[in-house]
A and B are shown apart, each in its own frame.
Chain A
């Protein structure tokens, strides 16, 4: 995922925002189905890799698309690529 923000963003703030967006749209039950977990986060290049359950990956993408601010800083998050493996992801993003 690539995020844009008007200020620097910490990993904790980013993850709280993603979880918040999922709660808001799909509730606690929906959030529990995602098995969401951070794999990597780079605040400088503003890129993050998240793991999510394949069956609800579209729900996670929708929730992420609905983010407009991270800790009060105007932001937008775009999904760059989705892959089943980290290796596949690296290949897709470097292509």
Chain B
């Protein structure tokens, strides 16, 4: 079966729709069918509709995504409660261990992202993976640092990623590889992205899953949950009335 490729982390300037259109056109040319860009939590339904329209013009399925950067656990819970039903994908930027742990065990979190390049500030260890495997969160890796870093910094970053990816695989935490591209020249074809993912220990099929099956399954599951007739996984409201 033909794979549907997705890039859930395009990062155009959110105030510039022209740049988004340019990135979307390039992503479509390169073979992606589904894209997402982090929106501010305050993004309105109208803004999301506009972005969907821009993407559908070039044959892309746009996924609404919000990246949250909570200050503490309480802040995280408040933001999740507020945003879960408004966005199809919720990503938590884990900057402290406390937030990383809480995000990993919360079923409302879709993606765990560790923005720091410093291995001491990345908290994806065995404990984190164990919590994430019990929840629903996937581990997101951006390709951009591998492209832009050079020398020892890149070596250290790849080594850290290799360790994290091996832990994720051990605990069966889904891995999602995204571009993190801010401009078209940082976008790569899905198969090239998968090859770059092999630099941190993913095998051919695991890497391809990380740019196709894993992100598309996540989006499909969340879209199902956001439908008004959704009751629980596998249960849908078919008819409503007194005679039921």
Contact B198 A58 (CB under 8 A): yes
Does B195 reach chain A (CB closer than 8 Å)?
A: yes
Q: Please, how many angstroms separate the alpha-carbon atoms of A57 and B193 in the complex?
A: 15
Given known A-B contacts A68-B147, A78-B30, A58 and B195 have beta carbons under 8 A apart = yes
Contact A4 B185 (CB under 8 A): yes
Q: Please, how many angstroms separate the alpha-carbon atoms of A64 and B186 in the complex?
A: 13
Partner of A61, one of B148, B150, B186, B192: B192
Q: How far is the CB of B210 from chain A (nearest CB, A)?
A: 15
Q: Please, how many angstroms separate the alpha-carbon atoms of A24 and B192 in the complex?
A: 17
Contact B186 A68 (CB under 8 A): yes
Interface 1/0s, chain B 192-209, versus A by CB < 8 A?
A: 110110110000000000
What's the tally of chain B residues with a CB closer than 8 Å to chain A?
A: 17
Contact A76 B199 (CB under 8 A): no
Query: In this complex, which of A64, A65, A68, A78 has the most chain B Cβ atoms within 10 angstroms of its Cβ?
Result: A65
What's the tally of chain A residues with a CB closer than 8 Å to chain B?
A: 15
Contact B195 A78 (CB under 8 A): no
Partner of A62, one of B150, B189, B195: B195
Find chain B residues with CB under 8 A from A24 CB.
Answer: 150
Does B146 reach chain A (CB closer than 8 Å)?
A: yes
Interface 1/0s, chain A 53-66, versus B by CB < 8 A?
A: 00000100110111
Does B101 reach chain A (CB closer than 8 Å)?
A: no
Q: Please, how many angstroms separate the alpha-carbon atoms of A64 and B193 in the complex?
A: 11
Q: Please, how many angstroms separate the alpha-carbon atoms of A6 and B127 in the complex?
A: 46
Given known A-B contacts A4-B185, A75-B185, A78-B192, A62 and B199 have beta carbons under 8 A apart = yes
Q: Please, how many angstroms separate the alpha-carbon atoms of A66 and B150 in the complex?
A: 11
Interface 1/0s, chain A 31-64, versus B by CB < 8 A?
A: 0000000000000000000000000001001101
Residue of A nearest to B143 (CB): A65
Does A86 reach chain B (CB closer than 8 Å)?
A: no
Interface 1/0s, chain B 125-164, versus A by CB < 8 A?
A: 0000000000000000000001110100000000000000
Contact A76 B198 (CB under 8 A): no
Does B188 reach chain A (CB closer than 8 Å)?
A: yes
Residue of A nearest to B183 (CB): A74
Find chain B residues with CB under 8 A from A64 CB.
Answer: 192
Contact B188 A78 (CB under 8 A): yes
B92-146 at interface with A (beta carbon < 8 Å):
146
Does B36 reach chain A (CB closer than 8 Å)?
A: no
Contact B196 A66 (CB under 8 A): yes
Does B187 reach chain A (CB closer than 8 Å)?
A: yes
Residue of A nearest to B146 (CB): A66
Residue of B nearest to A66 (CB): B147
Contact B196 A76 (CB under 8 A): no
Residues of B whose CB lies within 8 Å of any CB of A are: 30, 146-148, 150, 184-189, 192-193, 195-196, 198-199
Q: Which 5 A-B pairs have the closest CB atoms?
A: A65-B192, A62-B195, A76-B185, A68-B147, A65-B188
Beyond A65-B193, A66-B147, A68-B186, list 17 extra A-B contacts (CB 8 Å): A4-B185, A24-B150, A58-B198, A62-B195, A62-B196, A62-B199, A65-B195, A65-B196, A66-B146, A66-B196, A68-B148, A68-B185, A75-B185, A76-B185, A78-B192, A79-B189, A79-B192
